[in-house]
Amino acid sequence: MLDMKWIRDHKEEVQKTADGKGIAFSVDELLKRDREQRELLQQTEVLRYDRNRLSVQIGELMKAGDTENSEELRGRVKQINEALARLETQLELLRSEVERLQLLVPNPVSPDTPMGRSDADNVEIKRVGAQPAFSFVLRDHVELGELHGIIDIPGGVKIGGTRSYVLKGAGLLLHRAVQQLALDLLLKKGFTPLEVPLIVKDQALVNTGFFPLGKDQTYAVQGEDKWLVGTSEVPLISYCADEIVDVGQPVRLAAVTTCFRSEVGSAGRDVRGLYRVHQFSKVEQVIICEPDAALSDQLLKEITGHAEEVLQLLELPYRVVSVCIGDMSQKTYKQYDIETWMPGRGAYGETHSSSNLHDFQARRSNIRCRGNDGKLKFCHTLNNTAAASPRILIPLLENHQQEDGSIRIPEALRPYMGGLQILQINGS
């Protein structure tokens, strides 16, 4: 939640950002309600002052034995109390409305964020690795998965409905191997791993900027004010909520979790295979640092680089794009996506996302640090997907397939696969 004074001073920027991010929000409506709230608050403060002043006078009159005048003042105090009760009811309603509108205010975007309406307007920064040239008719990951008996989508649909799947045998081992590879890399980079709750309170999602706008993407726990997480970013950030954090060195946290997303609004999109599913696993990296724009921008590049290292170890071609304003979430200040080449789609597909949120999440979550002057300041927060599976299995299977249908296991994954070098059709 952004500071209200900042919003008043930057109303044009706020509205422009909301429009750019496609958020139905009126800054004029917020400022109108905010003004009404402040005026009403001033009225209540005047009435409270008058009531306190009259109460003192009543006490003095009672001591002097002036019952008649003290009763008259008591009547006036009663009228003030009745007026205060009405005003406080109105004030509480206004406070709720201001808070509701303030929770819709988007984080401003960096000056170098591209303009645009969708991922089609994202700007490519670089490409790494050559797209493989196949001398045979390639199979997509669904065909390869069925051929090897490692992906069973009909079985998953039978159990969980659409956008469900079952990974079997080497499919599960690959799924786990990629995650462990990514986690081991983060451990070498100084990240502290955490096992975190996957069911979180409503406030945790509000504080991290996923609510109120992302409720339709989140599974609720019926009968409780709790939800299933779509990313461990939520519990990792919430772990530091309401804390004064030592950021002499940036705080680096990581988690490996199962995640859940309802994918509302994606009907008909990426329906084949493992690209867009309800349940998946992520290795997430989160950084909390001092509120220094140059530092957090440097750290954004750093965590993006970690995801690139994972893809390089998996020997996969990819590209990095700067995400445009229309493809950003409410909470994001600056974002890079990594798209990996998926031969079956004949296109790059998003596999990783890195975001710098500046102090947006920290303000909502009340995560602070002390500056050199000793004053408390809100921290900057960043996050990145080091690995997300089973989506990463799409390029992993498709890029490393061979003419006979076998799949080469990248060297970096072999220690996690019992030394297996080639996944043969017969499973050997």
Q: What is the pLDDT of residues 318-354, one digit of tens each?
A: 999 999 999 999 999 999 999 999 999 999 999 999 9
Q: Is 223 exposed, middle or buried (0-12, 13-18, 19+ CB in 10 A)?
A: exposed
- Indicate whether 8 pLDDT > 70: yes
Give per-residue pLDDT as tens, 233-255. 999 999 999 999 999 999 999 99
Domain coordinates in residue numbering, the chain: 4-102, 119-423
4-102 with 119-423: one CATH topology?
no
> For 119-423, which CATH class?
alpha beta
Please state whether the predicted TM-score (pTM) of the whole model is above 0.95. Answer: no
CA 156 to chain centre: 27
- List, for residues 396-407, the tens digit of each pLDDT value: 999 999 999 999
pLDDT of 266 > 70? The answer is: no
Residues whose CB falls within 8 Å of the CB of residue 96, separated by 6 or more in sequence, listed in order? none
pLDDT at 125 over 50: yes
Looking at domain 4-102, does it have CATH number 1.10.287.40? yes
Contact 325, 335 (CB under 8 A): no
- Enumerate residues 6+ apart whose C-beta is below 8 A from 203: none
pLDDT at residue number 267? 61
Q: What is the pLDDT of residues 68-99, one digit of tens each?
A: 888 899 999 999 999 999 999 999 999 999 99
d(CA 149, CA 427): 8
Q: Would you call 250 helix, strand, or coil by DSSP?
A: coil
Q: What value does the mean pLDDT of the chain take? A: 96
Coil/strand/helix, residue 8: helix
Residues known to be catalytic? 261, 276, 350, 353, 391
344-363 as b/e: b if 16+ CB within 10 A = bbeebbbbbbbbbbbbbbbb
What is the chain's Cα-based Rg? 28
